Amino acid sequence: MTTTAAPPPAHQSKVDPKSVNRAVKSLLKWWDSKSKPESSEPLEKDGFVYLIVTMKKIPQMDRTNPVMIPIPHPLIDLEEDSRELCLIIDDRHKNKITKEAALKKIEAEKIPISTVIKVSKLKSDLRKLEEEKRFELYFAERRLMPILPNLLGKEFVKKKKIPIAINLRHGKWKEQVEKACESALFFVGTGTCSVVKVAKLSMGRKEIAENVMAAMNGIADSVPGKWRNVKLFHLKLLESLALPVYQAAPPVMELR
């Protein structure tokens, strides 16, 4: 007689959905009041919701590539013709992938990349392109990642526009690009705090809350120590106050 193994226990979130819903509702109310024409304080044009994660200890993780946290409602709609995704290729070696070959592959396989830039022309081309359009996401050949921060400059890094590594030699380009577009990107900082873009204000309240919950659970599951290392989660808009949605319980003090 064979026995069937019991299924693994369901993932237990430590976050109260009611806290998330209250925070989302408050932020949307604040946004609506500030977005009215009669408001004396015009808002910057940033329609995103941000999650601030505070760790108890600085996580020892890869700081070059983001952790991709799947969310139910993607921040980038790949069906829209207006999307702007940029790929930086390495043209410094003999066995390089040429810009022409990359564009041909992108068109043939319907890969959602709108622009290809050669790393040798990065500084001149990128400055010009940034003035003309705003890219939603940057990708770069994996072997370029160590040199890109210096080439792009401090402002580029500060704005969280560091490209996402993509393997152009092996693996499927389209799958790698789509996975990044369908995820919240968790860039691990050098301190205990990180900021993650998790939703768009154009989404409904329910969709925003679902993305926030998925991002918090995914982040907690991806860091060393998991929930034991998560101290705080806050939710905010670009110019709003940060609203708490999770706080770790304080350590229990033993009586003597």
Instruction: Let me know whether 191 and 150 are in one domain.
Output: no
pTM score of the predicted model: 0.84
Per-residue 3-state assignment (H helix, E strand, C coil) for the chain: CCCCCCCCCCCCCCCCHHHHHHHHHHHHHHHHHHHCCCCCCCCCCCCEEEEEEEECCCCCCCCCCCEEEECCCCCCCCCCCCCCEEEEECCCCCCCCCHHHHHHHHHHCCCCCCEEEEHHHHHHHHHHHHHHCCCCEEEEEHHHCCCHHHHHCHHHHHCCCCCEEECCCCCCHHHHHHHHHCEEEECCCCCCEEEEEEEECCCCHHHHHHHHHHHHHHHHHHCCCHHHHEEEEEEECCCCCCEEEEECCCCCCCCC
Residue 147 lies in a domain: yes
Q: Is the same domain home to 67 and 157?
A: no
Point out the residues of the chain with pLDDT beneath 70: 1-12, 37-46, 81-82, 130-133, 155, 157-160, 251-256
Q: Do residues 82 and 55 share a domain?
A: no
Q: How many domains does the chain have?
A: 2
Say yes or no: 191 and 171 in one domain.
no
Domain final position from 125, 151, 181 = 181
At 94 the pLDDT is: 74
Each residue's pLDDT tens digit, 102-114:
999 999 999 999 8
The pLDDT tens digits for 102-160 are 999 999 999 999 899 999 888 777 777 766 667 888 999 998 988 888 888 776 766 66
Tell me which residue range forms the domain holding 122.
78-181
Domain for residue 9, yes or no? no
